[in-house]
Structure 1
Amino acid sequence: MAPALKVEQTVQEWGNGLGVRITSPVAKAAHLSQGVPISVEVVKNGVLLRVVGKPKLSLNQKLKAFDPEKHSGEIMATMAVGKEIL
């Protein structure tokens, strides 16, 4: 089976290590975006990158997804445990 997209790039120095920039067409084809966790595996004749989960949301993304109707505001689901004033 032939790859859906193939590009040639150059490994470059990146800080104390090495890096390869993932171009936008490759990222889109591989369903990669900033923050997506991946595994890096050394295989015969190369390196394999695999998506291993969903990206962690930033605080702004979490706040944007907050729905007061769904999450019911600030109502406590437990009984008073101290000297709370009711």
Structure 2
Amino acid sequence: MTATIIAEQTVQVWGNGLAVRITAPVAKAARFAQGSPIRIEVVEGGVLLRAVGEPKLTLAQKLKAFDPAVHGGDAMTSGRVGAEVF
């Protein structure tokens, strides 16, 4: 059994809504990462945050994972069809 992590935070204004910062130890214990999809439920006595899937990759992460040998190349492997200029 893992230890319970408790963090006291203050609700802040963020744009037209409210926000609470999730500290690194809490995020790590909850397996939250930037881009993690979560479900927010209002329950008796408070609010429950629950992870509902894998984090979405940022553009930088997608570009880092791009391998031209695997993902690149021409979509059309036949020769010229019309009056293409190269």
TM-score past 0.5 threshold:
yes
Cα 1:66/1:45, change in 2 over 3 Å:
same
C-alpha separation in 1, matches of 2:10 and 2:55: 27
Q: Identity across aligned pairs (percent)?
A: 60
* Aligned twin of 2:66: 66
How far did residue 78 of structure 1 move? 6.9
Residue 25 (structure 1) aligned with residue 37 (structure 2): no
* CA RMSD, Structure 1 to Structure 2 (Å): 2.6
TM-score by length of 2: 0.72
How far did residue 68 of structure 1 move? 2.8
How far did residue 74 of structure 1 move? 1.1
Q: Which consecutive unaligned segments of at least 5 residues does structure 1 have?
A: none
| Aligned-partner residue type, residue 25 of structure 1 | P
Map 1:1-86 onto structure 2 (within 5 A): 4-71=4-71, 73-76=72-75, 83=82
Aligned length: 83
Q: Which consecutive unaligned segments of at least 5 residues does structure 2 have?
A: none
| Aligned-partner residue type, residue 5 of structure 1 | I
| Aligned-partner residue type, residue 55 of structure 1 | P
| Aligned-partner residue type, residue 83 of structure 1 | G
